[in-house]
Chains A and B, each alone.
Chain A
Amino acid sequence: MVEVRETHGETTLVVDTPRIVEAARHLRDELGFNFLSDVTATDYLGWGAKSVSGYIGTPTGRDLNKPSTQGYQRLPQPKPRRFSVSYHLLGLRAGAPRVRLQAWIDDGETVPTLVGVWPTADWHEREAWDMMGIRFDGHPNLSRILMEDDWEGHPLRKDYPIGGEPVRFSGEE
């Protein structure tokens, strides 16, 4: 366990990435979060890079060289690593308690798979691999799921441009 946060009525538990399976088993067996709703990977490349906009003065300053830019009113909190992997857990009991289990990794690092804890993690993790390029250690079949098998790149990463897919049969080939 690294950090606990409470925002917008939701609890986020940030855990040490190698110990995530342990944390998940504890949450499932001891605390009764028996249902894995969702696994989401988020890319924070360039988070807060737009800087503060020119109109509004804030504690972090005001960029007079860029009036009328579409920057932030206030710089967002920096993130510890590039990627977060969030597991949204739910307890099927009165009150429907929810908790978010979160692990932070850099590009090229891996996360232990949770398929052994919740079989439903199978496709969710494949989607995270396909879209974000997060590798899950020990996943039985970590292949692309939404994109075709020979696709290059991971489309939901921030450095993957929109409209950046190769055009086939374009005449230039």
Chain B
Amino acid sequence: MAVAPEQLIYEGTRIPSPTPSVLQVPEDLRASEDILNINFGPNHPSTHGVLRLVVDLHGEEVVGLAAVVGYLHTGFEKNMEQKSWWKAITYAPRIDYLAFQNNELVFVLAVEKLLGLEVPGRATWMRMLLAELNRIHSHLVWLGTAALEIGAISMFWYCFRERDRILDLFELVAGARMHTRYFQVGGLAEDIPPGFFGECAKFVELMPKAIDDYEGLVDRNPIWLERTKSLGLLSADDAIALGQSGPVLRGSGVDWDLRRAQPYLTYDQVDFRVPVYQEGDVWARYRVRMEEMRESVRIVDQALRRMPDGPWIADDRKVVLPPREELHTSMESLIYHFKIVTEGFRVPEGEVYTAVESPRGELGCYVVSDGGPKPWRVKFRAPSFVALQATATCMSGALIADMIAIVGSLDTLMGEVDR
């Protein structure tokens, strides 16, 4: 596996010093009267939510930049400490409201790792299928909004057309269009409804054509190329030093994907390609996401064909709710049901860190249990939070007009940044 990039994007490092996330106005310009300090956000239509950028401008050139976050801080991690394990699952998807199933997944995987629980094959395959649909969903919203910010308005409508189809699929499976909470510790909350496979197969057929549509709209559009090529450069070494992951890292020429490097679920049994681009610019990140959508469709297709039959949740009465019909006939089931619902199940003492490849990169979850029915500590490694640190490096020498495209290309989601 060749991790290193083939070509150098720029010599040396561009990470600002001493503070890696703050671009400071150069010494010789500091006394100049031409420096304009402007406040961009926190409430601006193109800041992807509530990001605030304090920018120093010298003419049109950005010479100083500091990102200010925290406007959407909701204390998810604190709240999760107050809830029993299975109630805490509900919080996880709300952290990243576009990649909700990946967030759910990483938390559930962490709890299962602590419990040492075996998950049945049907649940594992379905989790992978939904995680990939979710990746397409997240990339579609990214593509739509990032293109909108650059000025390609019609892209937004096309992307949201397909996004709606995905939300329909989620609704079919879980009853909710977003924040499905379909992943349960031990498997899935319910069996997969029979109508799902047909609907999903229709989507698999439709989606590659839709991606052709998007590419037809912008791929050879001179305005789009002008506004994405050679902008927001980030070299492979800088990307690794700044902890970048996901499409940003792969757009900088680093061949790294947790789905392949550290296979979880059943990613080692399906065939997919990891797109890598060497340019390290906004265009490369865009291309990586487009190709990832195609690969995700392929994974969904394979999962649909190979979905095994059998139970959808582990048979462990200490952790998993007993089947509904047993409650009327079995006293023991009723007791377990009551205990799990009121007190919650207990998770053995320990600390684990699990990571999955979310649409935005390495999404990690660090969980500490003290052996009780509630988590002692939950911490999410949010890929967007880390991606925003690269803003200063990507923006060095950029123009104010390119700032939107560059910040957009990092695909940050403020709900996840601030948690």
Interface residues of A (CB under 8 A from B): 7-10, 12, 34-38, 40, 42-44, 47-48, 50, 70-74, 76-77, 86, 88, 90, 92-96, 98, 100, 115, 118-120, 122-123, 127, 131, 140-141, 144-148, 155-156, 162
A118 x B353 contact (CB < 8 A): no
B residues near A156, Cβ cutoff 8 Å: 77-78
How many A-B residue pairs lie within 8 Å, measured between CB atoms?
132
Tell whether A42 pairs with B368 under 8 Å between CB atoms, given A94-B1, A140-B19.
yes
Given contacts A38-B366, A145-B70, 12 further A-B contacts (CB under 8 A): A8-B116, A38-B364, A38-B379, A40-B366, A72-B370, A76-B349, A90-B355, A115-B20, A127-B385, A155-B75, A162-B78, A162-B82
A10 close to B373 (CB less than 8 A):
no
Given the contacts A38-B366, A40-B379, A73 and B20 also touching, CB distance less than 8 Å: no
A94→B376 CA distance, assembly (Å): 33
Query: Taking the nearest CB of chain B, how far is it from the CB of A86, in angstroms?
Result: 7
A8, B113: Cβ atoms closer than 8 Å? yes
Q: Mark interface residues in B329-340 (1 if CB within 8 Å of A CB, else 0).
A: 000000000000
Which B residues between 367 and 419 are near A, CB-CB below 8 angstroms? Answer: 368, 370-373, 376-377, 379, 381, 385-386, 388-389, 418-419
DSSP class of A's interface residues: helix, strand, loop or mixed? Answer: loop
By a CB distance below 8 angstroms, the chain A residues around B364 are 37-38, 88
Contact between chains at A88 and B73 (CB < 8 Å)? no
Contact status A92-B254, CB under 8 Å: yes
Any A CB within 8 A of the CB of B323: no
Say whether A92 contacts B82, CB under 8 Å.
no
B288 within 8 A of A: no
Cβ 8 A contact of B114, one of A8, A95, A140, A162: A8
Residues A10 and B372 in contact in the complex (CB < 8 Å), given A147-B70, A156-B78 = no
Contacts of B15 in A (CB 8 A): 119
Residues of A within 8 Å of B75, CB to CB, are 155
Tell me if B200 counts as interface (CB < 8 A to partner A). no
- B82: A residues at CB distance < 8 A: 162
The stretch among B119-127, B164-172, B223-231, B256-264 that forms the contact with chain A is: B256-264
**Do B73 and A37 have beta carbons less than 8 Å apart?**
no
Let me know if B243 is at the binding interface, CB within 8 A: yes
User: Chain B's nearest CB lies how many Å from the CB of A128?
Assistant: 10
Which residue of chain A lies nearest to B237 when distances are taken between CB atoms in the complex?
A: A34
Q: Name the interface residues of B297-342: CB closer than 8 Å to any CB of A.
A: none
Closest to B380 in A: A38
Q: Given the known A-B contacts A40-B379, A76-B371, A140-B18, are A7 and B350 also in contact in the complex, defined by CB atoms under 8 Å?
A: yes
B346 contact set on A, CB distance < 8 A: 73
Contact of A37 among B19, B243, B377 (CB under 8 A): B243
Question: Which residue of B has the minimal Cβ distance to A96?
Answer: B262
Contact A38 B240 (CB under 8 A): no
Residue among A50, A88, A119 having the largest count of chain B Cβ atoms under 10 Å? A119
Judging by beta carbons under 8 Å apart, are B353 and A77 in contact?
A: no
Question: Of A74, A76, A120, A155, which one neighbours B242 at CB under 8 angstroms?
Answer: A120
